[in-house]
Amino acid sequence: MTITRSPKFAIGAQVATLKHHSVACILVIGLAVSASAQTPYTEVPTAFENLISELERSPEATPNVSAISRITASAQDLQRAINLDGGARPALSNDATNIVRSLQDKTFSARGSLDALRRDAATNVVSRDDWHPRVSGDRVSGTIGTRLNQTSEGDCVGISVVKAFANTTVGADILQKAVSINPDGSFTVSLPGDPSGRYHVGRDDLDQFGKGDAGAAAVVGALFQYFHLNPKTSSLPTNKVMELLAGTAGEHFRLADAHSSPSQIEQFLKKYAPLIGRNVAMVFGGAPNHQGDWSKGDGHAFAIIHIDIRSGTLIYTNPWDESKEHIIPINTLAGLAAGTSADFEMVKFR
């Protein structure tokens, strides 16, 4: 069993057909790393800041042996942190690789390395700054994130993560503070993992991010803007979406099904059962059947609503129709999910 905390180099994706739609939802996942739950590691933001610090200490001229050793170690630490976190940061990984190579072939430039890292950090959720949402417009009345239904190819991850957040006290509060509605019907969104950013989602653009909950659709739209992706052709990276919405309020964990036995998955789900809907937001991957029920495979994201240990069942929603709750025995889910590329991803709020 591999449980990793947030601070798959290769990014894999499969497609699941949307019910009544020709478009598909792609769940971006990564290759799990071979590490135990207790393996020490550095979180991505900390590893990134450490590498930046080492580069800022380095002169433009060729660094000495000690500096080369420190910079190389920091670059490799960033790569390890990215892998343990679930990947989906290829640009930063490439930057770290290029730094190590440039030190070896003597083409190293501290300034060039810093510029590349800071450029690519813009869409890779590395901020540790406090979030103080100050968005223009009026707060959205009512709850956000409980009734948004999927309409586009890449919406499933964003919608399911928002649903899982809305199922917790802290997550629901984050969603409420993150969104405001403007006089013209457009929305302004502030994301906790990008404290300085402000995202504008027009009224006419909302439907491509889901229907039934305009405020939640605005959040999903802001997520796509942050990652510079199109929901009709691209999907969101689950790990980074959870970190972007949580900011410093929570910590991301991932259970890799590929390295977990049925009993280990069942143990994991029962461990966090009392926290689901309280201070844990959790999603998981699978391949929906025609009725929208979870089935073995990958390519689609579901939100976990409740785990009942007494009855041995798990309640979840499919973003095709979030008004409908689905039930599956925990042991059935664990038995079928074990060994697949679909992971369980969660944020535990502090």
Residue 53 lies in a domain: yes
Residue 72 lies in a domain: yes
Residue 76 lies in a domain: yes
pLDDT digits (tens, 9 = 90+) for 194-241: 988 899 999 999 999 999 999 999 999 999 999 888 888 888 999 889
26 has pLDDT over 50: no
Residue 81 lies in a domain: yes
- The percentage of residues in the chain with a pLDDT greater than 70, rounded to a whole number, is 86
State how many domains the chain has.
1
How much is the pLDDT for 123? 72
Residue 103 lies in a domain: yes
How much is the pLDDT for 25? 56
Residue 312 lies in a domain: no
Residue 332 lies in a domain: no
62: domain range?
A: 44-85+90-121
3-state secondary structure the chain: CEEEECCCCCEECCEEECCCCCCEEECEEECCCCCCCCCCCCCHHHHHHHHHHHHHHCCCCCCCHHHHHHHHHHHHHHHHHHHHHCCCCHHHHHHHHHHHHHHHHCCCCHHHHHHHHHHHHCCCCCCCCCCCCCCCCEECCCCCCCCCECCCCCHHHHHHHHHHHHCCHHHHHHHHHHEEECCCCCEEEEECCEEEEEEEECHHHHHHHCECCHHHHHHHHHHHHHHCCCCCCCCCEHHHHHHHHHHHHEEEEEEEHHHCCHHHHHHHHHHHHHHECCCEEEEEEECCCCCCCCCCCCCEEEEEEEEECCCCEEEEEECCEEEEEEEEEHHHHHHHHCCCCCCEEEEEEC
320 has pLDDT over 90: yes
Residue 79 lies in a domain: yes
Weakest-pLDDT range from 40-49, 68-77, 110-119, 173-182: 40-49
pLDDT digits (tens, 9 = 90+) for 53-70: 999 988 766 788 899 999
Under the banding of pLDDT at 50, 70 and 90, the label for residue 2 is: low
